A = this chain, B = another copy of it.
């Protein structure tokens, strides 16, 4: 199957596979199996085999998957074999935590700029970067051709900021504001809502 046609539900699992493979690689392991990956991730071995087979032949019966090869292929498919510059908008607690987060390295992303609309915050530092005014946000994003943004503003202004990000050319938005965003068809939004995750688990309590 052409990589362009992999269903979105499978694409959503590829970063999870990549994270697990990277973890195995970091511990010095060179090969793995769908069974082992399944136990680490909590997805069935059959599902993993099916997902991975969507984009080519990798494992050999009895010898398993080559971890370095599979990592490289997944990084190619997900386009994280390069480093994407990312902006963060909203320098509250969450914005600060995300600016200082050390999990981006070697996974394809780098925080390039951070913005806030509060004049008292502009000019201060967050994660080694100077906080810029949202007044210059559209201009700076356009100049640097940045395509990826993390939204950590209050819900009340999230849609207005999103409209500006879209105007600036951003195509991928990771939204921490607890609100659904309206964007054009060519812009992707992913939501991080800790309460939705908690609610998914209380069902089983």
User: A42: shortest Cβ distance to chain B, in Å?
Assistant: 8
A200 x B15 contact (CB < 8 A): yes
Q: How many interface residues does A have (CB within 8 Å)?
A: 58
User: A165: shortest Cβ distance to chain B, in Å?
Assistant: 13
Copies of this chain per assembly = 2
Asked if A16 is at the interface (CB within 8 A of a chain B CB), the reply is yes
The stretch of A17-25, A116-124, A133-141 in contact with B is A17-25
B78 x A194 contact (CB < 8 A): no
Give A58 to B34 CA distance when docked, in angstroms: 40
B94 x A18 contact (CB < 8 A): no
Of residues A12, A150, A180, which shows the largest number of chain B Cβ atoms within 10 Å of its Cβ?
Answer: A180
User: A101: shortest Cβ distance to chain B, in Å?
Assistant: 7
Q: When the two chains form the complex, which single residue of B18, B20, B100, B198 contacts A109, counting CB atoms closer than 8 Å?
A: B198
* A162-183 interface (Cβ within 8 A of B): 171-172, 174, 178-180
Asked if A84 is at the interface (CB within 8 A of a chain B CB), the reply is yes
A199 x B148 contact (CB < 8 A): no
* A52-110 interface (Cβ within 8 A of B): 77-80, 84, 86, 92-94, 96-98, 100-101, 103-104, 107-109
B190 x A197 contact (CB < 8 A): yes
Chain B residue at smallest Cβ distance from A202: B79
B180 x A204 contact (CB < 8 A): no
